[in-house]
Structure 1
Amino acid sequence: MTFDYDLFVIGGGSGGVRAARIAASEGGARVALAEEYRMGGTCVIRGCVPKKLMVYASEFPAALQDARAYGWQVDAGGFDWPQFRARLEQELNRLEAAYRGGLTNAGVTIYDQRARLVDAHQVELADGTRFRAKHILIATGGRPFIPEIPGADLAITSNEIFGMDALPGRVLIVGGGYIASEFACILNGLGVKVTQSFRGTQILRGFDDECRSLVARSMAEAGIDMRPETTVAALSRHESGIRATFGDDAQETFDLVLYATGRVPNSAGLGLEGLGVGLGARGEIVVDGYSQTAVPSIFAVGDVTDRIALTPVAIREGHAFADTVFKGQARQVDHELVASAIFTQPELGTVGMSEEDARAQGKIDVYSASFRPMRTLFAGREDRMLMKLVVAQDSGKVLGCHIVGPGAGEMIQMAAIAVKMGATKADFDRTVAVHPTVAEELVTLRNPSRRD
């Protein structure tokens, strides 16, 4: 059988781009990649990167207040959203160009079109052009999900928020996950009146209870109207804005409604039906440890597989796929003990088991410290940090590390190395503290705060 390409990648996000580049530059493969929107995928274009830049922008009001407490004579005007948006678009253009350049330099052929599968070795572009490939990699990521309610078309998702013409005065954010909570903090910091409604009793379901409670309390103290156990039944357009009807029939009007109620694998419309590729209940593509589907020539990596929906994980999966298939180095990705950070205000960094999950598996000791960090304490703010280690009683092994506070994302990356290596509480104790830092609390926790 003759093939046009050794590998055809559908999707130009982080996982697909990494796989294509490695397969071409290091594996000597003839590679093509099709992307229907912009190169870089969710993370670079409409996710992690622009969101983090908005986080930075939203933190300046508090920083300016702190500067005054430290003796600086500071006066600030209002936030100029159009100026920020224009600068943000410039940065995204730069990043997209870098992704394209990396692929082109590696010898990858790029098609700026949607692609779908025709059979196990054939793909079709939107213009009808067909190519045969020895291997096909699906890396189409995930997409936001909006429940079917009356007026759902009036809401936006995280995909559209970066393109707003102007900041709203009042926003309703629906959802209690990390995307909803992050944007609640961002918009609140930019001066928007924020209401966050969610069905559960607390935000950030699945994370350590003590940590998410502190984050929620801090968000409420910062002025975000937190509404647990609340559902939205309908949305409707009115002269004064978008009227939300809640599950208890109460109504309220907002300038913008943002739905962040989760993401689903972006597997629809790819022509997978009838090919024998297994799909899960959420539409995720079922793969084995080598990212291979039930059809030997078809692979999938990243969020479309619904394993761990994090950009660095997708990159590792794409790289491992290329190593395995094109470099003769069979390699699986280790999905255990993957650290993550939630860029709320305060941040939450976590790796390993929550206190609740660890307790369900055996006897544990919990070491924790909650305190006011020096920097904001001096400025007169009431911010609190939390440092927490979850430790197995029998072995002393650190099962989980959780940090809430400024810089938590940076700190958890370093702590994750120790936890991944199997560090014990004694290993932490033997480490001399760096003083004065907030991170030193991780190695000065002497007595359990809770013990089974």
Structure 2
Amino acid sequence: MTDFDYDLFVIGGGSGGVRAARVAAATGAKVALAEEYRMGGTCVIRGCVPKKLMVFASEYHEMFADARAYGWDVEDGQFDWTRFRGKLHAELDRLEDVYRRLLDGSGVEIVDSRATLADPHTVKFTDGSTKSAKHILIATGARPQPPDMKGAELGISSNDIFNLDALPKSILIVGGGYIACEFACILHGLGVAVTQFYRGAQILRGFDDEARGLVSEEMQQRGVDLHLGTNVFEMEKRDAGVWIKATNGTEGTFDHVMFATGRAPNTDGMGLAEAGVELGRQGQIVVDDYSQTKVPSIFAIGDVTNRVQLTPVAIREAMAFVETVFQGNPTKVDHKLVPSAIFTQPEMGTVGLSEEAAREIEPVDIYCTSFKPMQQSFAGRTDRVLMKLVVSKATRKVLGCHIVSPQAGEMIQLVGIAIKMGATKEDFDRTVAVHPTISEELVTMREPVRSA
């Protein structure tokens, strides 16, 4: 007989929180989950899923042009944002319902309310009521963080894109991370005149320099008006839209300005510090290798911990949490060699170390090739792709792989398996190529282009 209302109370109905609740309930634990907005979290409601559907929609314009080059008698047609948005929202409604049915079918009690901490074992709801739990799991994710500048309230975030009544004719996207670059490509593909400002010297900071350089070139070649070393200095609302002045002195007016300048963990006003939970400089919950905070009864997973902000990582952390707490098998999450994809046009897939990071650790050989892929070249396009392997000189292990290409995300998933297993360059060499494909270049690069 427990002294608590629940064995586990989860705050946050995103991918990590829902997985933890379901799997914990399957062990026989009594579990409840609170979500203040919509079940599914960032990924399902305002992130990965709607974004990827918009990526698909945005690619058809180039497909029509390519089809004509291949002999098909097709016209471009017009993109109907209202029609697409209706189907998009219907799909998100369906997925939210799936999440709710999964929780209900697992025996998890759903509380549609904001939940905060009253003490290390008690959660408090909006109506003032409370519930107690032996363990509390925080999985509240993160949110877009607007810049600290005058007029920032005139801008929108990636969350708002999916709910626009109409597509803008023009937009300024401020930022150079993957969210900024993905939406720059998406909106350009849908016919919006896209300008992008990034204060740094090159977009996609932290990724391999050669790979991100090619993504930058290809985005500009497609028509994204990218300005590096540039930021917004002033902005104000005018009749024609949002007027901005850039740090380089130029001025412009846009239908919308979208800020993609970082994300902040959702920890404000939750009573975390009062309960003894340590917060980091960016507001993230500080946890150990087992996702446990300094308060033994309180754990945290996903973006709110600011470790690796990817949905599959949050799900892995959820599984490890349940294994540790409810199965008696202490399990750490391996955050190394996590493959990821950036759904720009072209896509970028990456796993492991960049050339720059690897050469700071040990001597490496770089195998790299860039070329025009057959499909696009035949259609008369000048697109280029990149295949790159970073290899340890000492062990010959492949330390990193970077792909810029159509379907790079699909490729990097499979390459990630080999690299996670510790594959060497010679293992890649022994693999017979699949011809004709773009990916065959990964196993046909015989000589390094340089050593570092």
Alignment correspondent of 2:304: 304
SS of corresponding position for 2:37 = coil
Quick check: 1:277 aligned with 2:287? no
Quick check: 1:289 aligned with 2:315? no
SS of corresponding position for 2:188 = helix
Alignment correspondent of 1:220: 220
CA apart distance, 1:362: 1.4
CA apart distance, 1:146: 0.6
Structure 2 CA distance for aligned equivalents of residues 284 and 237 of structure 1: 33
Alignment correspondent of 1:344: 344
SS of corresponding position for 2:162 = helix
Note the alpha carbon deviations across 1:162-186, whole angstroms, 9 max, x for none. Answer: 0000000110000000000000000
User: Structure 1 stretch 76-85 or stretch 42-51: which is displaced more?
Assistant: 76-85
| Length-normalised TM-score, structure 1 | 0.99
SS of corresponding position for 1:163 = coil
- Code of the aligned partner of 1:258: M
Alignment correspondent of 1:4: 5
Quick check: 1:263 aligned with 2:242? no
Alignment correspondent of 1:157: 157
The correspondence of residues 116-265 of structure 1 with structure 2, limited to 5 A, is: 116-265=116-265
Preserved contact between residue 152 and residue 234 of structure 1 (Cα < 8 Å): no
CA apart distance, 1:363: 0.9
Structure 2 CA distance for aligned equivalents of residues 331 and 364 of structure 1: 33
- Code of the aligned partner of 2:35: E
Preserved contact between residue 195 and residue 226 of structure 2 (Cα < 8 Å): yes
- Code of the aligned partner of 2:280: G
CA apart distance, 1:279: 0.7
- Code of the aligned partner of 1:103: L
- Code of the aligned partner of 1:362: E
Structure 2 CA distance for aligned equivalents of residues 47 and 8 of structure 1: 25
CA apart distance, 1:234: 2.3
CA apart distance, 1:235: 1.7
Quick check: 1:23 aligned with 2:42? no
CA apart distance, 1:316: 0.6
Q: Where in structure 1 are there 5+ consecutive unaligned residues? A: none
The two structures, once aligned, show a CA RMSD in angstroms of 0.8
Structure 2 CA distance for aligned equivalents of residues 287 and 344 of structure 1: 32
Quick check: 1:355 aligned with 2:335? no
User: Structure 1 stretch 410-419 or stretch 315-324: which is displaced more?
Assistant: 315-324
Quick check: 1:72 aligned with 2:69? no
CA apart distance, 1:121: 0.2
SS of corresponding position for 1:113 = coil
Preserved contact between residue 13 and residue 41 of structure 2 (Cα < 8 Å): yes
Note the alpha carbon deviations across 1:283-333, whole angstroms, 9 max, x for none. Answer: 110111110000000000000001100000000101111121112222111
CA apart distance, 1:248: 3.6
Structure 2 CA distance for aligned equivalents of residues 234 and 134 of structure 1: 50
Preserved contact between residue 157 and residue 259 of structure 1 (Cα < 8 Å): yes
The number of aligned residues is: 451
Q: Where in structure 2 are there 5+ consecutive unaligned residues? A: none
Alignment correspondent of 2:389: 389
Preserved contact between residue 273 and residue 279 of structure 2 (Cα < 8 Å): no
Preserved contact between residue 55 and residue 186 of structure 2 (Cα < 8 Å): yes
CA apart distance, 1:250: 2.8
- Code of the aligned partner of 1:448: P
Quick check: 1:410 aligned with 2:413? no
Structure 1 CA distance for aligned equivalents of residues 274 and 170 of structure 2: 47
Alignment correspondent of 2:109: 109
SS of corresponding position for 2:72 = coil
Note the alpha carbon deviations across 1:98-138, whole angstroms, 9 max, x for none. Answer: 11110000000001110000000000011111001000000
Quick check: 1:51 aligned with 2:51? yes
Preserved contact between residue 116 and residue 125 of structure 2 (Cα < 8 Å): yes
CA apart distance, 1:148: 1.8
Structure 1 CA distance for aligned equivalents of residues 251 and 377 of structure 2: 40
Structure 2 CA distance for aligned equivalents of residues 22 and 77 of structure 1: 47
Alignment correspondent of 2:437: 437
Preserved contact between residue 65 and residue 76 of structure 2 (Cα < 8 Å): no
SS of corresponding position for 1:83 = helix
Note the alpha carbon deviations across 1:251-282, whole angstroms, 9 max, x for none. Answer: 21000110000111111111112222111111
After TM superposition, the runs of 4+ consecutive aligned structure 1 residues lying more than 6 A away are none
User: Structure 1 stretch 419-428 or stretch 267-276: which is displaced more?
Assistant: 267-276
| Length-normalised TM-score, structure 2 | 0.99
CA apart distance, 1:78: 1.1
Preserved contact between residue 32 and residue 110 of structure 1 (Cα < 8 Å): yes
Structure 2 CA distance for aligned equivalents of residues 352 and 448 of structure 1: 18
Alignment correspondent of 1:98: 98
CA apart distance, 1:150: 1.3
User: Structure 1 stretch 262-271 or stretch 4-13: which is displaced more?
Assistant: 262-271
Quick check: 1:33 aligned with 2:33? yes
Structure 1 CA distance for aligned equivalents of residues 155 and 219 of structure 2: 23
SS of corresponding position for 2:286 = coil
Preserved contact between residue 28 and residue 326 of structure 1 (Cα < 8 Å): no
Alignment correspondent of 1:314: 314
Note the alpha carbon deviations across 1:348-371, whole angstroms, 9 max, x for none. Answer: 000000001111111110001101
Alignment correspondent of 1:327: 327
Structure 1 CA distance for aligned equivalents of residues 264 and 431 of structure 2: 42
SS of corresponding position for 1:159 = helix
Note the alpha carbon deviations across 1:68-91, whole angstroms, 9 max, x for none. Answer: 111100013211000000000010
Structure 2 CA distance for aligned equivalents of residues 12 and 323 of structure 1: 20
SS of corresponding position for 2:118 = strand
Identity of paired residues, percent?
63
Structure 1 CA distance for aligned equivalents of residues 451 and 326 of structure 2: 50
Preserved contact between residue 302 and residue 309 of structure 1 (Cα < 8 Å): yes
